Every structure is written in structure tokens, then in C-alpha cells.
Amino acid sequence: MTLQFSSRAQRIEPFYVMEVAKAAQELARSVAATRDPMIFLNIGEPDFTAPPLVLEAAERALRAGQTQYTNALGLEALREAISGWYAQRFGVDVPARRIVVTAGASAALQLACLALIDRGDEILMPDPSYPCNRHFVSAAEGTAVLIPTTAEERFQLSADKVQAAWGAKTRGVLLASPSNPTGTSIAPDELRRIVDVVRARGGLTLIDEIYLGLSYEEQFGHTALALGEDVISINSFSKYFNMTGWRLGWMVVPDAMVPVVERMAQNLFICASTISQHAALACFAPSSIAEYERRRAEFKARRDYFIPELNRLGLSVPVMPDGAFYAWADCSAAAERLGVDGSWDFAYELMHRAHLAITPGHDFGSADTARHVRFSTANSMAQLQEAVARLQRLIG
């Protein structure tokens, strides 16, 4: 039987990050016993796992049989706890009634796109950006319009570019701050101007703030939710809270959108994982937050070590990341030194000759992605130091 797949399914390109990761895993097995086992700098998730109180809370929930469906919007206590976190950490009043708990930021993005985007609607996004975000738009039969960005713009959209690109079919913007793959945030004044431009056109501002908790500069670590109730923010327990596989996230939506998202979540997901929700309540205990802050300092220390080393090695990182755990490096000079052309071949050479797994820019857009690679610093300081030593030998 020949299956006929939908055009929707066919529009979704492979997530090459995962394909590269698979190739690296395979090679890792064959080089495991050599002097240079594989170092993974391609990973988009923290190398830490959930802290002890969170594990204990999950165990307690399991043993107590707290394993049935929850309300589609999430446990009331968890929505309250997230609301408290916004107040305490960001000084912003986000009422629990506007918080929707989801199966990761991925489900939140899916729900937001399905709730707001109609066939043919165009959503403006920066190039480079997280590949799945444009696929969520396309799954809702909208069109992601990628706008090339520059280092001067911190690889983010600017209000001028949003204004210039806005057309009859434009429905809004989908931003991510800090960004994957660049680790750079939108400057606060620029973000305010973008929101004003969008608002003046009756459009939507969707902002993926999944890396906001992992912010290293006071200047940038603010939530866009402070700019008004019409801003829709997506977040997650995956990154700052180190719970990627637990599949838990949330989004903050305007009051009027809550019943719509509730209806869709009831139908599409029923609810986010109940065990994960009970466990996540312990994320906000003072000792858990203290541990997360210690880990955030560790991520910052890695950034402060690794980015200057990349620059020194000719893998220029034009904007110092202010958050997340990524570096968006221009590999053209280093590739030339290796006698190869483009980020795909450069990543391949690094994987095979230095056993360093990194991510070619390809996934993240089309503008300048053949010149860029993404390094992830979600690995120990010792591994980062070893990676620098290998890069030094290969391209230094």
C-alpha cells in the first residue's frame, strides 16, 4: 500500500540538529575507546538533571497515585507557583488564571499557532531562529517569513524591519529571546518598539522566552510580559529548570484566549504529564532555586571561558551571548584553513578529525547559515577545555 501523506506533513523539513546528533552518537561508539572520545557540543539541553527535591516530589506523586489526568490548564498550585516566580524574579504581576501549563514549550507553541493562525497568515521571524518554530507556523497552515538579521541587531528582528516587512497577510511576529542558536536577546528598547509596531497594526506578538531563566546580563533578563497583556509568552521547565525529558512548559496568554486554549488543549493533549506537574512544584522551593542559580552561574562561567577561546581560534562570535548556552560562530576562516567550504563540511570535518560534535547553521534559516555553526556549552568545563585543545590542534 502506498501511503499518501498530507502536504502539511511534507512541508516539515527534518530537524537536522537531531540527524547530526544521531550521526555523532554512532561515531561516538566507534571512538569511545580511543584517546579522543567524542565531545558533544551539539546538545541543546542542560547537562544537569532535576535537583533532589524535584525527584523526591515525583516519587511521592507516583507512590501516592497522583497519576490521573489534571485539568487541561494544569494544576492550580503549579499555575500559582509560576505566577509567584514571575513576581519574585521578574517583578511582574502575571495572574495564575492567564497561565496555561503544557507538554513543554513545544506544545505551547503548537497550541498558540493553532489558536491564532489561519491558512495563509504570515508570521515574521528572525533568520537565524529555532527551526521548529517555523514548522509550528507551517503546521497551522501559516507561512513563516524569515527576515535576515545582522550582528548589529544581535541577530534579532528590529522594529524597522518588522515595519518594512509588514504586508497585507502579516498576522504577527514570533520572537525568541534569548535566541537559539545565538544566545542573544532583543535589546529591551528595541523589543518595546517592535511591540508598538505590531500593536499599531493589530497584530500578534508571540515570544519564546524558554531561555529567559538562563540570562547572564542584568540589562537583558526581563520578560516581555511587562509590556502588556497582549504579549503572549512561551516558557518551559526544560532549560533553566533542567527538566527536558519531563515534557513540561507553559504559556501566558491574554484573558480572552484562555478558554480557547483550554478547549484546544482538552482535545489535543488532555493535559500535561501529571507526575511532572507535581514534581515541578518543588522547582520553586528555596533550595531548588538556590541550586538552579548555582547552575546558572556555572553556565555563565562556561560562556566566559569558551567564547573568548572561540574568538581567539578564529571562530568569530560577533555578539557575546547574554543567555542560554549557545554560541553562533562564523566558521568561514576556520573552514578555509581546513580546506573545506561551508558550515556543513566544517562540522563534518570537526566530527571526524577532532571527534567534536557541533551543529551546522543549516537548520536555523537560510540567510547566513552556510557560514555559521552553533556550539553548545551545555557540557562540563573540563570537556570545554578539551574541546579547545582539540580545536587548537586542528585549526590553531
Name the residues that contact ligand PLP, by CB under 6 A: 44, 104-106, 130, 176, 180, 208, 210, 236, 238, 244, 249
To the nearest whole angstrom, how small is the minimum distance from the Cβ of residue 130 to ligand PLP?
A: 4
72 vs 212, which CB is nearer to ligand PLP? Answer: 212
**Grid cell listed for 24:** 555523532
- Do residues 55 and 46 make contact, with C-beta atoms less than 8 angstroms apart? no
Q: Which residue number places its CB atom closest to ligand PLP?
A: 104
Cβ proximity to ligand PLP, 322 vs 349, nearer residue: 322
Task: Provide the minimum distance between the beta carbon of 44 and ligand PLP in the complex, in angstroms, as a whole number.
Answer: 4
Nearest distance from C-beta of residue 43 to ligand PLP, angstroms: 10
DSSP reduced 3-state for 13 = coil
CA 303/CA 161 separation, integer angstroms? 30
Nearer to ligand PLP, 134 or 390 (CB): 134
Nearest CB to ligand PLP, comparing residues 51 and 104: 104
| For ligand PLP, the closer CB: 105 or 282 | 105
Alpha carbon distance, N-terminus to C-terminus of the chain: 55
The CA distance from 3 to 332, in Å, is 42
The residue type found at 12 is: I
Q: Tell me the closest approach of the beta carbon of residue 149 to ligand PLP, in angstroms.
A: 15
Nearer to ligand PLP, 174 or 335 (CB): 174
Minimum distance from CB of 202 to ligand PLP (Å)?
26
- Strand pairing of 204-208 and 231-236? parallel
**Is the CB of 41 or the CB of 176 nearer to ligand PLP?**
176
Q: Provide the CB-side half-sphere exposure for 195 (13 A, CA).
A: 20
**CB-based contact 94:225 (threshold 8 Å):** yes
Minimum CB distance to ligand PLP, residue 210 (Å) = 5
Round to whole Å and give the CA distance between 175 and 133: 9
Backbone φ, ψ for residue 65 (5° rounding): 70, 25
From CA 354, how far away is CA 336, in angstroms rounded? 16
Q: How far is the CB of 236 from ligand PLP (least distance, A)?
A: 3
Residue of 66, 103, 92, 40 whose CA lies nearest to 238:
103
Kindly state the cell numbers that stand for 226.
Answer: 511587562
Note whether 107 and 236 are within 8 A (CB). no
Give 17 or 315: the residue with its C-beta nearer to ligand PLP.
17
Smallest gap from Cβ 237 to ligand PLP, in A, equals 7
**Residue given cell 562540522 in the structure block:** 347
What is the Cβ-side half-sphere exposure of residue 282, based on CA atoms within 13 angstroms? 20
Residue with smaller CB distance to ligand PLP, 206 or 329 = 206
Instruction: Tell the smallest beta-carbon distance from residue 208 to ligand PLP (Å).
Output: 5
The CA distance from 331 to 297, in Å, is 28
Q: Which residues, in sequence order, are bridge partners of residue 374? A: 328, 359
Q: Locate 194 and state its grid cell.
A: 517592535
